[in-house]
Amino acid sequence: MDKNNHPSRTRNSRHKKNKYSFSKKIAFLSVFAISFILVCGGVYATYAMQHQPKEASKLEEDDQYEQKEAALLEKIRKDQNQEEFKTTEQEKTDGSIQTLIYEPVAADSIPQLPTIKTELTGLIDVAQKNSPKETAIKLIGYVKRVKINEQVISYQPVVETYTWDQEKKDWSEKTEQGKNTAFVNQKTKQPLSLQDIFISEANVLAVQQVVQQKLLSESPDGNAIIDDILNMPSISLDGTAFTYYSDKISLGLPENPTGKKEITLSYKEIAGYVNPEFIDVSSIKDALPNPLDPDKKYISLTFDDGPNPETTPRLLDILKEKGVKATFFMLGQNVVKHESVVKRVAEEGHEVASHSYSHPQLTGVDAQTVKEEVQNTDKAIYHAIGKLPTDFRPPYGAVNKDVAAIIGKPIIQWSVDSQDWQSHNAQAIIKRIDDTAYNDTIVLMHDIHPETVDAVSTVIDHLRGAGYEILPSKELLGKKAKPLHMYYGSKDERPVQ
């Protein structure tokens, strides 16, 4: 038997082949399994890398939004709790818009609260309509309270809009304030009134003069409209609309030739006629002269009935040489004739005031005549120097309450009468003033008399020798003289009866 074909060797050979083939299959399957696992693991790893950070980022963003939302709401509520007056919170959520409204609890402290609430509601409605619907919005409506001073509190509707900024991951803020501000008098708990600010009709009449002058000054041709301005209805404490500010006031105007419906005056322009308790006192700082020194003596020289083309210029020369400022109460009929003299009086720093037009006794004529005497002189002086006279001396000192109301200016009387109109003697005039002058007085003279002009230089020397400082009457009275009152000196003020 051939040894290579031995049956046992043949079986062994097949067995080895089968064993080798099986091992190869096992190895292949192992490699395949490992490769499959690696591929799957890679796919899973790739998937995990792609999706897990997004989910984590989303969670982080949500958490960040919630934290900043909570912080914002906490700040809003804390700010409202710190207000000096208590409020109640009303919350409403509509989709992505959350609205918080804070209403004052003590509603009776704000008489105008219904009006404020109406405007606040309107502001919120507009904010809601203009807000994007897909973005988180917080609308905060409240009444802003500001203490202007010890006597005035202001209230104003305010809406704050907070919008979530996805890129910045934070809230952006926008504030909208109402157009109307309510001012409340803390003494009366009533809306602030012109009565609070101006106190009296006398002060309002003084302000009327400032308004008239301002309208004329701002007009390209004041002379063309002066009649309408002088006849414009007066400001009244009850019937005049106004807008209050801490440093100024806007007053509603009746129909007038300028077309202006309101005029704004700084308190500095009307410093002598406003109640300092109801304004920012710093706004009138230095607007009024310092009070007169109680340790000094003061006197004012005033001259009536001019101007006169002969005597008034000579008097002006003397006053200029002596460095004295005086007050000239002029007659309108003389102003018209001698405008150049009037201009010189004003240009040299003296006060130009009114003494009527033709020197009648105003208490003995009708109201229309009084009005014409005053207005015609106003027009004459305005035409001469571009300014209305603010002070008035009635002829013979004759005045009553009705006449004073028509005049509408402070009434400047006198306390020392030189009697130059009677003596027509320079030495007599000098002696009369020497004998009767005393502190805080107003001296009456007339610049139409040559003898008066002859006496003035010596009068000034004697007064200064006696320790007097000579001031024009407006300065002696502290620039605070008001209509319906008459003045004999800075300490002698009397309501016209």
Q: Let me know if 485 is a catalytic residue.
A: no
Q: Which of 278, 266, 274 is nearest to 211 (CA)?
A: 266
Which tokens go with 55?
């989910």
Compute CA distances 304 → 204, 397, 420, 421, whole Å.
Answer: 27, 12, 11, 10
Evaluate whether 413 touches 271 at the Cβ level (below 8 Å).
no
- The single residue of 304, 391, 440, 454 carrying the catalytic annotation is 304
- Phi, psi dihedrals of residue 437, rounded to the nearest 5°: -70, 140
- The single residue of 338, 350, 355, 446 carrying the catalytic annotation is 446
Q: Which of 418, 410, 472, 464 is nearest to 443 (CA)?
A: 418
Place of tokens 């089968």: 18
- What CA–CA distance (Å, rounded) separates 386 from 217? 8
Q: Which residues pair with 90 in a beta bridge?
A: 101
Which tokens go with 444?
């009456």
Q: Let me know if 449 is a catalytic residue.
A: no
Just list the catalytic residues. 304, 446
